[in-house]
Each structure stands twice: as structure tokens, then as C-alpha cells.
Structure 1
Amino acid sequence: MDVSLNRYIFNVTSNDITGHHPDALTAWSTIKSMVNPESPRWQSRMPEGIRADLPAPCAYIPLISLAGTKMKLAKTRFAPLAGALLYVCAGSALAAGMQVSSASFADGGTIPVLHGNNTDACGGKGVTPQVSWLNLPAGTKSVAVLLSDPDGAMGLGVSHWVAYNIAAERGQLKEGEAQADGHGATVGKNVRGEKIYRGPCPGIGDAPHHYTLTVIATDLPPTALPAGLTREELMSALKGHALGGQSVIGKYSR
């Protein structure tokens, strides 16, 4: 079997993986049954530059093919193991990234009226959505949470929620939290210059607007930034301090 990592990692044949290892857990169990990932033998052979947070056997991926070269694997009981190793390690690398989600609405789904604007006859309740974050980059001390509408203001964008100085270990903002300053969050100015959450309120009859709920990981302690920042001022203050970000998008219309 020819294996080229850069073009083949997700195309290992079913005979090599699913025939012997129907899922990643089974594959990983097989690998662990054959080697001890914590042993000095594995650790001493870990090539330089390999991520330390990946399972130790993933160190062997560069030995299979980092430069795209091909390697023939004998058709023995080790062929499925090699395929499983690629499968599991690829999954580990992908799963290790920062993750953001909301219990208030699905990514790509409709934002409930509960979170819409409760002023200007918009018909909403003005309650902040729930947002969670996982697997933050190393060194993260605080996060910022933003809600913006890139479709608003005739495509120029509208800032609805600017929350920051939030301790990273908190892990989430619950529904109704960070409506305004206090309880471990600083709330900056929205599009109207108010230091509160301002829910969605697109024009009546508009096509659904797309609201981007973003979490930015930073290396700043939770008390570092001053009160009352606009979205633009926050972006400027985070230059050189942002470590990563992820978003979910919800739709809202009237």
C-alpha cells in the first residue's frame, strides 16, 4: 500500500482501517495495547517540533511522510495499525483547537426573540445569549466576547455587544450575564454608545441578518483593560495580545 501523508491521510482504504478498527477509539486502544506512550522509548524518539500535547505515538507521523514522499508498508498486521495511527493522530490534531458554542442557538441557526433588542419596538427581550469556550490557546488569561452584525448599516456592520476582562477559566457566559458591567465582565460601548448589550433589530422585511458571536482569547489578565471601550478600541488594545478566536453565527429577522 502506498501512503503519502499530505494527500492520503483521509483516504486510507476501508480494508486498512474500518475492517480492523471501526472507529478512532478502537484504533487508539490497539495502539496503546502494543506500546506504552509514556515509556522513555517513545519520548526519546519524539522528533523535534512535534506538538507535545499530541499522543506520543503521533511522533511517528513525520517518519511516514512529512515531505510527501511515499513509503511502502508490508501487507501484514502492521498495515492497519499504520492507517489507524494516521487516523487517530489527525483527529487529535483537529480536536485540539479552540472551540466556541452557544446553547442559545445552533451555529447557522435562528437566534430566539429572547435575545433580540427590547427597545425601539424591536419586539425582543434583550437577554444576552449563552456562550461557551473550550481548548483555549496556551497562555490565555482572559477572553473577550463580541456580537456583531456585518449585514447591518447597509453592509457597514453594527456592533451589538462588547464584553471583555472575562477570566478564561470561567468557561462560559450564561444567558443574561454581561448585560452590563459587573459580575466578572466589563461591557463596552455598543453602536449607540451605550455600555450594555443591544440585541439584534434588523429592518422589517430585510433578509435575515447574520450575527457573529465571537470569543477572542488573550494573554491579558482580567483586569487589564479600561472600561467603556468600543469594538474598534478593543481591537486596537488587543493587538499583540490576542492568541486566537472562534465564532458561531446566528440569523435574525423581523
Structure 2
Amino acid sequence: MPRLSVWIAALGLSALGASAANAQSMSLTSADIKEGATIANEQVFKGFGCAGGNVSPALSWSGAPGGTKSFAVSIYDPDAPTGSGWWHWVVFNIPAATTSLPKGAGETKKKLMPKGAIQSRTDFGSDGYGGPCPPAGDKPHHYQITVFAVDVDKLPDAKNDSASAALVGFDLHFHTLAKATLTGLYGR
């Protein structure tokens, strides 16, 4: 449980590891998901009773602080009825020169990620993007998309696509310089 607490703290529920000034200077936008708006069916998971396109959204970020050596991106649903939320996408070791990911980059077979970036295991049990798919009848869930500016070019403990979200979060807890979050909503 201690690592889970560290992961949750590192991924947007607290500002540990990022000064208030840095946290305010970074921004994250998407042509596909707007802050507080309903997520389109194109991004929704295909499976578990959902019939979406399961296409990861295009993302762009700016304002990373000096000293940024890489980025990480995650999509997390804190409303999932699991006791610990649900990780929909975990990407790390994104090169520092990268400031965007194209739509569909979460499909590992398409190879749209920058060289060196790793898409690790989600709570669906596989690597790559898994879109929203909350239980039917729930209120809309909040899908927190976060980009992290990281002070190392490669996370020290999370080394490959089998790394769990908790392990990636453990590394991010100690290496995040700043972050920005965009939250979309989806319910069915």
C-alpha cells in the first residue's frame, strides 16, 4: 500500500515534487478533449461493454521548466470502483524535445511514439492506451490526463513496458519537476 500512496500523490492528487511556480507554468491541451467536457466516443474503450474507437487523444504541452530531461503522460480515473482508481495510459521516457503526441499514438502497433518512449502496463493488463469505460449507470467519471516534466532522461526503476503504473508513479514521485493536468468526463 505505501507505493500506491506514493503513486497517487505523484500523479496529480498533490503537488509533491513540483513547486507552485513550475506547476502553474506548464500547460496541457488537446484538440480531442476539452477541460471539463464529455470525452468523444472515438476515445472510449472498445470492450468491457463499451463500443468506442479506443483512439488516444492528441496532446500538446508547453512551459516545461529548465532541467527537464524527459516527459511522462498518464490517464487516470479516480472514480473507478476499485478502491484505487484505474490507470488507462502510462507513457514515460518521452524525450525532452517532444512537446506533443499525435492522435492514435497510444496504439503500440502504429509506432507513433517518439523513439525511446515506453508505454507500460495499464489496469486493462496490457501496454498502450485503453480509453474510458466506466460501469453503466455510474455518474460520469473524471479522466485526469497529466503530463509530467521529469528531471531524468530515463526513469531509474521503471525500465520497460511491463512496469506497473505504481512503479512508474514511484519514480515520478522523486523525479517530477512540474506537471499539468486536463480532465475530461465520460459516463454511460
Instruction: Give the shorter-chain TM-score range.
Output: 0.7 to 0.9
Query: Is 1:109–2:43 an aligned residue pair?
Result: no
Residue-by-residue CA offset, 1:81-120 (whole Å, 9 max, x unaligned): xxxxxxxxxxxx89x7111111111111111110000123
Q: Which residue of 2 aligns with 1:12?
A: none
Corresponding letter in the other structure for 2:159? P
Specify the alignment match of 2:159 in structure 1: 226
Kindly report structure 1 stretches of 4+ aligned residues shifted beyond 3 Å: 222-225
Q: Residue 135 of structure 2 is aligned with which of 186, 200, 203?
A: 203
Deviation of 1:205 (Å)? 1.5
- 8 A Cα contact 2:75 2:89, kept in partner: yes
1:236 aligns with 2:170: yes
The within-5 A match list for 1:144-155 is: 144-154=72-82
AA partner of residue 116 (structure 1)? V
Change (3 A) 1:249 1:155: farther
CA deviation map 1:9-35 (0-9, x unaligned): xxxxxxxxxxxxxxxxxxxxxxxxxxx
Does 1:128 find its partner at 2:56?
Answer: yes
Q: How many residues align?
A: 162
Rounded to whole Å, the distance in 1 between the matches of 2:108 and 2:33 is: 21
Q: Is the 8 A contact 1:117 1:123 kept in 2?
A: yes
CA distance in 2, matches of 1:174, 1:122: 23
Kept after mapping to 1: 8 A contact 2:92/2:155: no
Computed over aligned residues only, the root mean square deviation of the Cα atoms, in angstroms, reads 2.2
Distance of 2:60 and 2:152 partners within structure 1: 19
Give the Cα–Cα distance (whole angstroms) in 1 for the partners of residues 134 and 163 of structure 2.
24
Larger strand percent? 2
Name the aligned partner's letter for residue 245 of structure 1: K
Match of 1:179 among 102, 107, 112: 107
More RCO (CA 8 Å, sep 6+): 2
Counterpart Cα distance in 1 of 2:48 and 2:67: 42
Structure 2: 5+ residue runs without aligned partners?
Answer: 1-20
Q: Which amino acid aligns with 1:145?
A: V
8 Å contact kept, 1:208–1:251:
yes
What letter matches 2:84 in structure 1?
A: L
For the pair shown, which has the larger CA radius of gyration, 1 or 2?
Answer: 1
SS in 2 for 1:237: helix
Using the TM superposition, give the Cα deviation of residue 154 of structure 1 relative to its aligned residue in structure 2, in angstroms.
4.9
Question: If the length of structure 1 is used for normalisation, what is the TM-score?
Answer: 0.59
Q: 1:202 and 1:215 mapped to 2: Cα distance?
A: 23
Measured after TM superposition, the shift of residue 197 of structure 1 is 1.1
* Shift in Å, 1:180: 2.4
Name the aligned partner's letter for residue 172 of structure 1.
Answer: S
Q: Provide the residue aligned with 1:214 in structure 2.
A: 146
Q: What does the per-residue CA deviation read over 1:208-228, in whole Å, with 9 as the maximum and x for residues that have no partner?
A: 101000001101115865112
**Aligned partners of 1:178, 1:205: CA distance in 2, in Å?**
27
* CA distance 1:167–1:110, shift in 2 (3 Å): same
Question: What TM-score do you get using the length of structure 2 for normalisation?
Answer: 0.79
- CA-CA distance at 1:196 after TM superposition: 2.1
Identity of aligned residues (%): 35
In structure 2, give the amino acid aligned to 1:231: A
Q: Which residue of 2 aligns with 1:70?
A: none
Q: 1 or 2, which has the higher helix percentage?
A: 1
Secondary structure of the residue that 2:38 maps to in structure 1? coil
**Distance in 1 between residues matched to 2:37 and 2:58, nearest whole Å:** 14
Whether contact under 8 Å (1:178, 1:186) holds in the other structure is: no
- Output the CA distance in 2 between the equivalents of 1:164 and 1:117: 21
